[in-house]
Structure 1
Amino acid sequence: MSKSYIKLGELASYINGYAFKPKDRGSEGLPIIRIQDLTGSSNDKGFYKGTYPSKIEINNGDVLISWSASLGVYVWNNGKALLNQHIFKVVFDKGEIDKDYFVYAVQFSLHRMRQLTHGATMKHVVKKDFENVLIPYPSLKDQRKVAHVLDKLKESINKKMDELTKLDELIKARFVEMFGDPNISEKNQKKVSMTDVCQIIDGDRGKNYPHANDFCNDGYCLFLNAKNVTTSGFDFSNKMYISKEKDEALKKGKLNRGDLVLTTRGTIGNLAFYSSNIPFDNIRINSGMVILRLNHDKIEERFFIEHFKLQLLRIKQKVASGTAQPQLPISTMNKIKIFLPPLSLQNEFANFVQQVDKSKFENIVYLNKTLSSKILSQLGDAIRD
């Protein structure tokens, strides 16, 4: 009878990526794959043209595990590339293991590890500790059976995710139906400058701007980093804080409830809404963001958000500046024009979005619960005598 559990270190070798320096990142050669390239939180790829150790080369089918700041397991399928630090490449050179089963088992183990942090920031996982993590280890035949069942479940989930994408498209279509396309000039549509409906507030970049030793894992004021503002809103899986004293020494750049945060450097155009549901009372932006403080007597936030999303591609193409690191200066944002229909119509649209969001939220909760419970059930069945 095979072992019920096995340590990850007994199954494979885990090769860490290379610590590429900023000067190594260019526009030619093989892409350098960082954690944000795996999570999809950045489109700012760098490339390396030169010699490199063969062990950091990755190819289609390689299993990658991010172990610092963001924990995750991925199957790489985007061609030859080079692995940056803080990511393991898995080399299956020890125990007998089905690769698909391994991915599911590690995915569930990392989920459990994140839960054990109780909301605190997990900076990284020590390699020795990672290799000591136990996963269920049934026979190879049963591993393949489990992977097959979960693959079928994943297909169903992907179909549901397609439905969620269609709901997003429905919101866009409804906006254009009610107000027109913001990227097309229409004679009868009133347009105003962004500054007519919101303040664009920069952060404090003066002498009191926090340095590395000012940050801590817990504290008075959450200080946003680039990973916190994504294409789908806030993500607080990676957090850093400053003290109350440091917060009070800074001037501009602190959020009020109802504010929007917009990324303006590197990955530009990500928006997040600081609603009453966000569980942090004190938040500040970093130097690659601005605050959009809406005049709610003129504009409704969901109307503004969807309007801005529709303009985003054009904004990136035409008003972003900079080469190595794209930037969206406030001076160019001041020139952006937006529709300003009657507030009653904006609120009608916002009510429609709210109903769609409710459907999306219910689907996401269902999918998460289904996936977690199914993985747990399958892994449990796999080791049961």
Structure 2
Amino acid sequence: MKKLLPEVCTIQYGFPFDSAKFSDSNGMPLIRIRDVVRGYSETYTTEEYKSEYIVHENDLLIGMDGEFNIAKWGKTPALLNQRVCRLAPKDSIDKDYLFYFMPIALKRIEEKTPFVTVKHLSAKELNKIEIPVLSLEEQRKIAETLSKVDKLIAFRDQQLAKLDELVKARFVEMFGDLVVGDKIQTSKKKIGEIASVTKLAGFEFTKYIQYKEHGDIIMLRGLNCKQGKLILDDVKWIDRKTSDLLPRSKLYYGDILMTYAGTIGDVAMVDENDKYHLAPNVAKVSINNKKAYNPIFLMYLFLYSNDYIMRFASQVAQASINMEKIRNFEYYFPDVTFQNQFATFVERVDKQKQTVQQSLEKLELMKKALMQEYFG
């Protein structure tokens, strides 16, 4: 049996609090769209409020602009602001069952919602959502199963985070801060002295590049470079002939990528020859002598010195760093023997991460299959 959402829960919409009374520290925390998923707010209001708008721990909230997300609120009580709504389950529906069902319904609405700049979720669309209502016992059993899978997924995520922390701790232990040289002061060099730094020029992109959904060579864009990893779940392609026309921006194993516009200083390392090409807004750092400088070490050096890198950014509407500034990054470099030792450690940890990642992906597939089975 299916019921409309308002039949199984009370939908409360946020109050239009006056932005003139918002504060960074004074008053009561206020929930804005960006706060829904993370479960806490850094915005406060000094405006008077009714107690009915106070949100408590584990209340179900939906962000009604942009991505339509549902999440459980964190520990700190806060106020329900406009464009955020709260679902309060009635006796016929289990709260966790509702929590697991809603993402599917919200995704369907999001996919069919037209937009110019930002998608907006309407009360009308929320009211039309139909939810399969089983016995409370069955609902709780479904929610419990999905909760167990979620806990395993969270545990795998924690394992990956701890392995990342382990690599960072090893770097600091071996090298300290290589910007100031608090541990190593043997060889201070600018990046331009040890590597070539280049980009795909704007005129080259305009004249030669036409993105395809499939092809021979992946164009590595800024969104593909995240925290030392190549993220390839959203890629654009070109054919090999086009790549060969632009040899300066072809990519090879050991080349380091760095975003230089918008999001600055995200890095990754090219892990394979003859597979990738440089896209706009990403710089390529190619080490001149890999017997003297290890690319894995250099990538992590960039990753862990982001604060230093940001000092070079131009302070305009969209911050950026030009190639000359990247060439002028200056560090103390340890002997290549120690660079190689660190790289070997990273490779060992990466093997552990790969095992954990495979387990995580299986769990995520399992959850998708269960969601499909339970909710269609």
- Normalising by structure 1, we get a TM-score of 0.64
CA shift, 1:110, in A, is 11
**1:218 corresponding residue in structure 2:** 214
Q: Distance in 2 between matches of 1:209 and 1:350?
A: 38
Matches within 5 A, 1:1-385: 2=1, 61-63=60-62, 75=71, 100-102=96-98, 104-105=100-101, 125-126=111-112, 138-186=134-182, 188-206=185-203, 208-209=205-206, 214-243=210-239, 246-247=242-243, 250=246, 252-276=248-272, 281-286=275-280, 288-295=281-288, 296-316=290-310, 318-373=311-366, 376=369, 380=373
Counterparts in 2 of 1:359 and 1:282: CA distance versus 1, 3 Å: closer
Q: In the aligned structure 2, how far is the partner of 1:33 from the partner of 1:323?
A: 26
Shift of 1:38: 7.8
Aligned partners of 1:219 and 1:243 also within 8 Å? yes
Q: Cα gap change, 1:174/1:225 in structure 2, threshold over 3 Å: closer, same or farther?
A: closer
Alpha-carbon distance, 1:248 to partner: 5.2
* Structure 1 residues 107 and 237, CA gap change in structure 2 (3 angstroms): farther
Extract unaligned runs of 5+ from structure 2. Answer: 10-22, 25-29, 39-54, 115-124
Give the secondary-structure state (helix, strand or coil) at the position aligned to 1:271. Answer: strand
CA RMSD, Structure 1 to Structure 2 (Å): 4.7
- What is the rounded CA distance, in whole Å, between the counterparts of 1:268 and 1:353 in structure 2? 24
Instruction: Verify the 8 A CA contact 2:196 2:286 in the aligned structure 1.
Output: yes
- For the 8 Å contact 2:60–2:86, the answer to whether it is kept is no
CA distance in 2, matches of 1:7, 1:298: 67
SS in 1 for 2:347: helix
- 1:54-92 deviation line (CA, Å, top 9, x unaligned): xxxxx9843459999xxx955386987898xxxxx9997
SS where residue 323 of structure 1 aligns? coil
Residues 63, 75 of structure 1: 8 Å contact kept:
yes
Q: Quote the residue 1:51 is aligned against.
A: none
Structure 1 residues 156-211: Cα deviation after superposition (integer angstroms, max 9, x where no partner): 44344333322222212212222222243346332211122221111121165269
In the alignment, which residue of structure 1 is the partner of 2:49? none
Contact 2:60–2:87 (CA under 8 A) maintained in structure 1: no
- Counterparts of 1:369 and 1:177 in 2: how far apart (Å)? 34
- Asked if 1 retains the 8 angstrom alpha-carbon contact of 2:255 and 2:287, the reply is yes
The SS at the match of 1:270 is strand
Q: CA deviation at 1:375?
A: 6.1
What's the CA shift for 1:290?
A: 0.6
Higher radius of gyration, 1 or 2: 2
Would the aligned equivalents of 1:64 and 1:76 in 2 still touch at CA under 8 Å? no
What whole-Å deviation, never above 9, does each CA across 1:277-325 have from its counterpart, x for those lacking one? Answer: x9x7242321x11111123122112211221122112322x22112311
Determine if contact 2:269/2:296 at 8 Å carries over to the other structure: no
Q: Do the aligned residues in 2 keep the contact of 1:193 with 1:337 (CA within 8 Å)? A: yes
Q: Which has the higher contact order (CA 8 A, sep 6+)?
A: 1
Aligned residue pairs total 317
- Can you give the 5+ residue segments of structure 1 that lack an aligned partner in the other structure? 13-27, 40-58, 84-88, 114-123
Alpha carbons 1:254, 1:285 under 8 Å: kept: no
CA contact (8 A) 2:179 2:332 kept: no
Q: In structure 2, the residue corresponding to 1:299 is in which secondary structure?
A: coil
Identity of aligned residues (%): 25
